[in-house]
Chain A
Amino acid sequence: MTPRLQLSGITKRFPGVVANDAVSFSVAPGEIHALLGENGAGKSTLVKIIYGVQRADEGGLAFDGRPVEIHSPKEARALGIGMVFQHFSLFEAMTVLENIALGMDDPPPRRELEGRVREVLNTYDLALDPHRDVHTLSVGERQRIEIVRALLQKPKLLIMDEPTSVLTPQEVEKLFETLRRLASEGCSILYISHKLHEIKALCETATILRGGKVVATCDPREESTRAMAELMIGGSLKDLTGKDAALTGAARLTVAGLSAPGEPPFGTALKDISFNVRAGECFGIAGVAGNGQNELLSVISGERRDGVSGTIAIDGKPITGLSVTGRRAAGLASVPEERNGHAAVPAMSLAENAILSARSRMGLVGGGIIRSGAARRYAAKVIEAFSVKATGPGAAAKSLSGGNLQKFVMGREIMQDPSVLVVSQPTWGVDAGAAAFIRQAMIDLAARGAAILVVSQDLDELLEMCDRIAVINTGRLSEPMDVKGISIERVGLLMGGVHGAHAGGDAAEKAA
């Protein structure tokens, strides 16, 4: 059978790096093909070449057996290639239909478009109201807009870039049904992910990339996740150690009746949140993005204090009235979700970034004057202890890769030996090796008696490292659950906002 898509010897160089090195593989009609690899392995560059966003330096593409040159996404769409990006490009203040029309090369009249959109929604059993404003939709529903956009073009090849990173387990299952259905109709799917159990459940073939090269092609249903992971990182995986030994003592971080307004314009208000984190404990907060996680983190760190009610205490002493600096002095360390421009200043050196949050606890400032020597030494210590790949304390934060900058940021906080560490998305966009390292460092800190609060959309991560988990949805926090013997289905339902007994329902259906 003629392959739907055939890549032969695709090579793409950027100054100083080869992003793709003679990559060849093919996707059959109706096949669900996984493209697997760590961040920086070259997956994104490769799909951008297929979708016409970038052009290969060498090598060629064939579509349905015909050699093609794709110069733009428009040409890709004309060939029958659709793509759903990881990050959506939607206008929050507009309706679903308006957003779809804006994304089309040549939109038909409104009424005709609505008819076609409804047809796609019905055919693939997708729950979505075309007239809703986007800012009222859940992440899963927003993704459906992007899928509908792609399906309206009747694609022969659909590229999905990390589609499940923000979905609840139920939404993932629903997405997979849609994709299987599409494949059964002959549409090929190129599925990009680093979540191995999903690939095992969905894909028939997997091409594994490392350092821009194809290192293996396999049938994921036959391989163990561990074997695939080791192919991906090119080394052996280490298990987390010391978690069982974690002793949990008295409550160190106590949050009671915390409420706060949402960040404008479409933020989520926090509603009466109460929990505590004990000494030696890792406490996880799961939830779909945009349900109040950022608000909760900035209220605890002290970055937002306007309109906040309720109390936050460390070791029984209230810190609610203290500034960011005061809270740090009281033993709190925090790492926000966004590294660039929030946890770190990209244009500044690592030594200066050490001053940003460690200046008072580590004595990097005296009498109002910066102690540059001490700052450089502290930054160098963090670089060494957390094996950060950087030229030294003078390297600009923006010159580090995402994983290395995250290691530096985490190290900067952990090495201050805080009594409470609050972290959001500790391993977002970080490769598997660095992620394991960061998780281990947090567990080690807990083992020394600190209380750790982890906010993450990655449920697997929370299950791996936390002792208890609670779920945040529309600004409310569920009861905490022990991770041992936890029901994934129940967590998924809570993430989708279903608190009653509607098994199998998700946020979209509830809303529709």
Chain B
Amino acid sequence: MGWKLEPRREESRAMMLAAPVIAVVATLIAGAIVFTLLGENGPGAVYQIFVAPLLSLNRWQDLLVKAAPLAIIAVGLSVGFRANIWNIGAEGQYILGGLAGTGVALQTLDLEGGWILPLMILAGVLGGMAWAAVPAFLKTRLNVNEILSSLMLNYVAIQLLYYLMRGPWKDPEGFNFPQTAMFSADQTLPMAVPGTLIHIGVPIAAALGLTAWFLMVRSITGFQIRVIGLAPDAARYGGFRQASTMWLAMLVGGGMAGLAGVLEAAGPFGQMVPQFPTGYGYTAIIVAFLGRLNPLGILLAALVLALTYVGGESAQTVIGLPAAATGVFQAMMLFFLLATDMLVRYRLTRTTPAPARTAPAAAAGEPSAGSGRPGEPPPPAGDRIQRERTEAAAL
């Protein structure tokens, strides 16, 4: 008597939606246990990180401000992930977006006008795109794995940032601190809600999420991306080219990461500093998967991950939890998400002596018996249950 995983006939939609919830709950429980074993106050840590911030109105402002860049980056990444294009370089593209915007800002420090901020934002988007264009070019021309090339460019971006901060872009009046001059009022994001920390990046993130959702469901480009991800051969048959999808996904991902970067630079930071990269580009990968690669889900997931940042900070001050706790919780969340995702395609069954239940799995022992050629369908396929699935099924 024991447990075993058995393939499902169809992916479970209920489990697909339940998996992120299960992962978050499992993270809370496992987190409490781990920190207790480490000699900390485990339940207290979980409370400080995941509950306390929700009870304070001021913390909600922090939450939205932290969630905005995560959501923007993750929405961009989800486009590529849907097409099985693995852009791991959002961190670098975020930095380049921030640097490109800063470049414009430093050239326009003495100028005034409403055109400056839009120009900075445009530069930020282009900066992120340019950084993402490198892996896209290498992939389409030389078939270089985009996971490696985009990831390695993150380190190049960080070094570029350090160089600019310590060299050409250092504020001449900054007492030799490695940072740029503060941006002017025309170079800083206006607040969306006056008197709070909530800058216009927050509504921009929400609007982008909704737009992306609409385009993925209703536009032919979104359709192209979904088909490439689900069935590459069918995409070729449908006249969608792999290379153009690669470019599209990388440029959208890079552009959105760059946008998040310039919004952070012109918003919360108000200047460029070496501490600019805070791992948003990596965390956004977790956000994208926690949100099921669905732009609406991503908006929610961004709030959850933002909670770990905000709560992690307050846990440091209130109960003296180490700063690394945030990372531990984020990593556990990804771990549990990947684990529970297994249940979308498999179900957990008890192995009992009753033979009938185990029959479909037994076919796996004889590879040629269940081969997926179009000839004879394997027996479970003979079960012709017609199941109505909505258009959103693929989301």
Partner of B234, one of A343, A369, A394: A343
A53 contacts B366, CB within 8 Å?
Answer: yes
Interface string of B352-395 (1 = CB under 8 A from A): 00011001001101111101111111111111111111110110
Give the distance in Å from the alpha carbon of A337 to the alpha carbon of B373 in the complex: 10
Contact of B375 among A323, A370, A398, A428 (CB under 8 A): A428
Q: Are B227 and A348 in contact (CB under 8 A)?
A: yes
A429–B368 contact, CB under 8 A?
no
- With a cutoff of 8 Å between Cβ atoms, the chain A residues found around residue B37 in the complex are none
Encode contact with B along A401-433: 1 for CB under 8 Å, 0 otherwise: 110000000000000000000000100110000
Q: List 13 A-B contacts (CB under 8 A).
A: A14-B380, A19-B379, A48-B369, A53-B363, A53-B369, A344-B234, A346-B231, A368-B221, A369-B218, A395-B388, A395-B389, A399-B384, A401-B382
Q: What string of 1s and 0s marks CB contacts (under 8 Å) between A437-477 and chain B?
A: 00000000000000000000000000000000000000000
Report which A residues bind B (CB closer than 8 A).
Answer: 12-17, 19, 39-40, 42-45, 48, 51, 53-55, 57, 72-73, 85-89, 161-162, 165, 301-303, 323-325, 328, 334, 336-349, 351-352, 355-357, 359, 365, 368-370, 372, 389-392, 394-396, 398-402, 425, 428-429
A73–B365 touching, CB < 8 Å: yes
The answer to whether the Cβ of B327 comes within 8 Å of any Cβ in the partner chain is no
Residues of B contacting A390 in the complex (Cβ-Cβ under 8 angstroms): 386
Tell whether A391 pairs with B387 under 8 Å between CB atoms, given A57-B356, A356-B227.
yes
Q: For A392, list chain B residues within 8 Å (CB).
A: 388
- Of B63-71, B200-208, B236-244, the one with at least 4 CB within 8 A of chain A: B236-244
**Given A342-B231, A399-B385, does the pair A303, B377 have CB atoms closer than 8 Å?**
no
User: How many angstroms from the CA of A232 to the CA of B236 in the assembled complex?
Assistant: 38
**Residue on A nearest B380 in the bound complex, by CB:** A14
Check B368–A85 contact: CB distance below 8 A. yes
Chain B residues with Cβ below 8 Å from A334 are 237
**In the complex where A45-B379, A53-B362, A395-B386 touch, is A345 in contact with B391 (Cβ < 8 A)?**
no
B10-59 interface (Cβ within 8 A of A): 10-11
Q: In the complex, A85→B394 CA distance in Å?
A: 35
Of the candidates A17, A88, A370, A396, the one whose C-beta lies within 8 Å of that of B382 is A17
Which residues on the A side are within 8 Å of B387 (C-beta)? Answer: 391, 395-396, 399
B233 contacts the other chain (CB 8 A): yes
- The interface on chain B, measured as residues whose beta carbon lies within 8 A of the other chain's beta carbons, has a size of 51
Q: Which residues of B177-235 are within 8 A (CB) of A?
A: 218-221, 223, 226-227, 230-231, 233-234
Q: Assess the B367–A399 pair: CB atoms within 8 A.
A: no
State the Cβ distance, B275 to closest chain A Cβ, in Å: 41
Cα–Cα distance between A151 and B106 once the two chains are bound (Å): 81
**B237 near A372: Cβ-Cβ < 8 Å:** no
Partner of B230, one of A343, A348, A425: A348
The 3 closest A-B pairs by CB, nearest first: A324-B239, A325-B239, A89-B368
- Are B367 and A89 in contact (CB-based, < 8 A)? yes
A36 to chain B minimum Cβ distance, whole angstroms, is 14
Chain A residues near B379: list those with CB within 8 A.
12, 14, 19, 44-45, 48, 54
Asked if A343 and B227 sit within 8 Å, CB to CB, the answer is no
Tell me whether B381 and A394 are in contact (CB under 8 A): no
User: Given contacts A342-B237, A347-B230, are A399 and B380 in contact (CB under 8 A)?
Assistant: no
Given A54-B362, A391-B386, A391-B388, A357–B230 Cβ distance below 8 Å? no
What does DSSP make chain A's interface, helix, strand, loop or mixed? Answer: loop
Question: Given that A14-B380, A16-B383, A19-B379 are contacting pairs, would A340 and B393 also be in contact in the complex, using a CB cutoff of 8 Å?
Answer: no
Contact A349 B368 (CB under 8 A): no
Q: What residue in chain B is nearest A17 (Cβ atoms)?
A: B383
Question: In the complex the two chains form, is A16's CB within 8 Å of B227's CB?
Answer: no
Contacts of A48 in B (CB 8 A): 363, 369, 379
Supposing A73-B366, A402-B374 touch, asked if A396 and B237 sit within 8 A by C-beta, the answer is no
Q: For residue A54, which residue of chain B has the nearest CB?
A: B359
Assembly CA distance A340 to B231 (angstroms): 9
Q: Are A340 and B374 in contact (CB-based, < 8 A)? A: yes
Interface residues of B (CB under 8 A from A): 10-11, 218-221, 223, 226-227, 230-231, 233-234, 236-239, 241, 355-356, 359, 362-363, 365-369, 371-391, 393-394
Name the CB-closest residue of B to A90. Answer: B368
Tell me whether A394 and B223 are in contact in the complex, defined as CB-CB below 8 angstroms, given that A87-B368, A357-B238, A429-B375 are known contacts: no
Are the CB atoms of A370 and B234 closer together than 8 Å?
Answer: no
Q: CA–CA, A356 to B239, complex, Å?
A: 8
Q: Could you tell me the distance between the alpha carbons of A303 and B377 in the complex, rounded to whole angstroms?
A: 27
Residues of chain B contacted by A429 (CB below 8 angstroms) = 373-377
Known: A325-B239, A346-B231. A372 touches B391 (CB 8 A): yes
Shortest C-beta distance, A161 to chain B (Å), equals 8
Across the interface, do A72 and B365 meet the contact criterion of CB distance under 8 Å?
Answer: yes
Docked pose: A338 CA to B391 CA in angstroms: 23
Chain B, residue nearest A146 (CB): B368
In the assembled complex, the CB of B225 is this many whole angstroms from the nearest CB of chain A, namely 12
Max chain A Cβ within 10 angstroms of own Cβ: one of B226, B359, B372, B387: B359
A341 to B11, CA, bound (A): 16
Residue of A nearest to B374 (CB): A429
CA distance A73 to B374 in the complex (A): 23
Question: Which residues of B are found within 8 Å of A17, using beta-carbon distances?
Answer: 382-384
Contacting A347 at CB < 8 Å: which of B239, B382, B386, B393? B393
A residues less than 8 Å from B394 (CB atoms):
347-348, 352
Report chain A residues within 8 Å CB of B237: 301, 303, 324, 334, 336, 342-343, 356-357
Question: Which among A337, A347, A370, A401 is the interface contact of B220 at CB below 8 angstroms?
Answer: A370
CB-based contact A356/B234 at 8 Å: yes
- B238 A162 Cβ-Cβ under 8 A: no
Return the chain A residue nearest B234 by Cβ.
Answer: A345
Which residue of chain B lies nearest to A394 when distances are taken between CB atoms in the complex? B388
The listed residue (B221, B375, B390) touching A87 by CB distance below 8 A is B375
**A54-B239 Cα distance, complex, nearest whole Å:** 41
Contact A86 B376 (CB under 8 A): yes
Minimum C-beta distance from A350 to chain B (A): 10
A352 touches B391 (CB 8 A): yes
A57 surroundings in chain B (CB, below 8 A): 356
The answer to whether A402 touches B377, judged by C-beta atoms less than 8 angstroms apart, is yes
Chain A residue nearest to B356 (CB atoms) is A57
A363 to B359, CA, bound (A): 46
A147 CB to nearest chain B CB (Å): 14
Inter-subunit contact B233/A342 (CB<8 Å): yes
CA distance A43 to B377 in the complex (A): 11
Bound together, the chains give a CA A135 to CA B376 distance in angstroms of: 24
Contacts of B366 in A (CB 8 A): 51, 53, 73
Q: Given A349-B393, A395-B386, is A338 in contact with B374 using a C-beta cutoff of 8 Å?
A: yes
Which chain A residue lies CB-closest to B369? Answer: A53
Expressed in whole angstroms, the minimum distance between the Cβ of B280 and any Cβ of chain A is 31
Besides A355-B220, A396-B387, A399-B384, 5 other A-B contacts (C-beta < 8 A): A19-B379, A89-B368, A323-B239, A395-B388, A429-B374
Contacts of B233 in A (CB 8 A): 336, 338, 341-342
| CA A344 to CA B230, docked complex, whole Å | 10
**Assembled-state Cα–Cα distance A86/B371 (Å):** 10
A334 to chain B, nearest CB (A): 8
**In the complex, how many angstroms separate the beta carbon of A40 from the nearest chain B beta carbon?**
5
Query: Given the complex of chains A and B, what is the CA–CA distance between A16 and B385 in angstroms?
Result: 7
Residues of chain B within 8 A (CB-CB) of A45 are 379, 382
Instruction: Select from chain A the residue with minimum beta-carbon distance to B241.
Output: A323
Q: For the complex, give the distance between the alpha carbons of A497 and B219 in Å.
A: 49
Question: Which residue from chain A places its CB closest to the CB of B379 in the assembled complex?
Answer: A45
A395 to chain B, nearest CB (A): 6
